[in-house]
Amino acid sequence: MRPEYDLAVIGSGAAAFAAAIAASDLGKRVVLAESNQVGGTCVNVGCIPSKALLATASRSIELSTIVDAKNRLVDQMRTEKYIDLARAYGFEILRGHAEFVNGESVTVGGEPISAHAYLIASGASPAVPAIDGLQGAGYLTSTSALAVRTPPRELAVIGANAVGLELGQLFMKLGSKVTFLEAMPRITPLEELEVSAVMGSILEEDGATVLTGVKIESVRRYGDRRRVSFERRGGRNELSVDEVLVATGRRPNTLEMGLDKAGIELTERGAISVDERLGTSNPRVWAAGDVTGHPQFVYVAAYEGNLAARNALEGADLKVDLAAMPRIIFTTPTVAAAGLTDGQANAQGIRCACRVLPLSAVPRALVNRDTRGFVKIVAERSSGRILGATAVADGAGDVIQAAVYAIRFGLTTDQVAATWSPYLTFAEGFKLAAQTFKRDVSKLSCCAA
């Protein structure tokens, strides 16, 4: 029997829509299956609503007002960027839970469908560790925190990486007293050591308590309060707060999908195991985005969705390349990075040279009267080729785009140092950092020529 569709996609987020659009452009018959809100994590409970709240958070504005405005924006973008797009491209969205019956077909809401190729783009959900008493005590996640209408007076944030820091700072701006509890020896453990030091200092300056090397033992509820018991440096401690926010990562959505019936293998962490072309252990099934365990950014999901669709439908033989991928933490100031940290470069056996430029050497920061932060470049010692960069500054997310280009196209520190850079911008910091490989920038005049 001829399959109904060329491509059936499980999910309706960034990876799913990128795949559906790519397939539609090829003239293929496409269907998406979605059991929850159309649009996936980013537009509904991820980057769009969280950044909308961060952009307007203030002690002088009622949180409920901000949440209402956020909800309107989410509704608008879900409609314009997802539902309306599906109509424009002419692909279907079936509502219901998708499950593989065997290696060649699935059911959606109990109804069978068949396709030449399948793409799993089901995303991920907040991961909640098995902490004694946590379920009974109640807690917030990155999803439920976005719906809170009254900021807690005191908040414990378990986890101090991207999500924990962003939401923790959000509640700080709304007047909450926040304590960050991180299991690793430092916050932002996957980024440069300098990021951990600078952001830890900034958070404490702004009134937060930052505790690292923490092992949470239990969370108990007493009336309207929660008591967090934890071990740190050999001692037992307790913290009493109004709310607990769990920000300990996200787990791939792979449960109850019949993956075993389709012969689809998982990794040790429960993600769908894929090769460099995003193929799974079933030759008719592909996977893209957060469900693969790859870096959980919406642009990575969209990139992979497009790549997987072309590989599945055209045999394009495209390979995933994340070498120049940017990553951003939307704190104040922003943390942005691309490519390798110096620790990662060393682990790969690369002889590298690094330079760290403090923001006190960047005219824009001096004008803003806030020099908390830096720009760091990691380069190959022999060639000067830029391998990675990190910035902590206002607008660092925009600055890092220059580093993405430099890494992607193999630019050297000399080449970046010789380019134009507009004065009184944070982007100038990237050029100044490149100049530090050959000269003392403190001895330059205002314009970094």
Q: Would you list the DSSP string of 355-392?
A: EEEEGGG-HHHHHHT----EEEEEEETTT-BEEEEEEE
Distances in Å between the alpha carbon of 395 and those of 370, 399, 402?
13, 6, 12
Which domains, ranges and CATH numbers included, belong to the chain?
A: 5-125+251-314 (3.50.50.60), 134-248 (3.50.50.60), 326-440 (3.30.390.30)
User: Under 8 Å CB-to-CB from 260, ≥6 apart: which residues?
Assistant: none
> Which tokens belong to 449?
């020529």
State how far Cα 310 lies from the chain centre: 24
> Are 264 and 281 within 8 A, CB to CB?
yes
> Are 49 and 77 within 8 A, CB to CB?
no
Q: What is the pLDDT along the chain (449 residues), one digit of tens a residue?
A: 457 999 999 999 999 999 999 999 999 999 999 999 999 999 999 999 999 999 999 888 899 999 999 999 999 999 999 999 999 999 999 999 999 999 999 999 999 999 999 999 999 999 999 999 999 999 999 999 999 999 999 999 999 999 999 999 999 999 999 999 999 999 999 999 999 999 999 999 999 999 999 999 999 999 999 999 999 999 999 999 999 999 999 999 999 999 999 999 999 999 999 999 999 999 999 999 999 999 999 999 999 999 999 999 999 999 999 999 999 999 999 999 999 999 999 999 999 999 999 999 999 999 999 999 999 999 999 999 999 999 999 999 999 999 999 999 999 999 999 999 999 999 999 999 999 999 888 877 766 56
Backbone angles phi, psi at 48, to 5 degrees: -65, -55
CA atoms within 13 A on the CB side of 105: 11
Peptide bond into 49 cis (omega under 30): no
> Are 132 and 226 within 8 A, CB to CB?
no
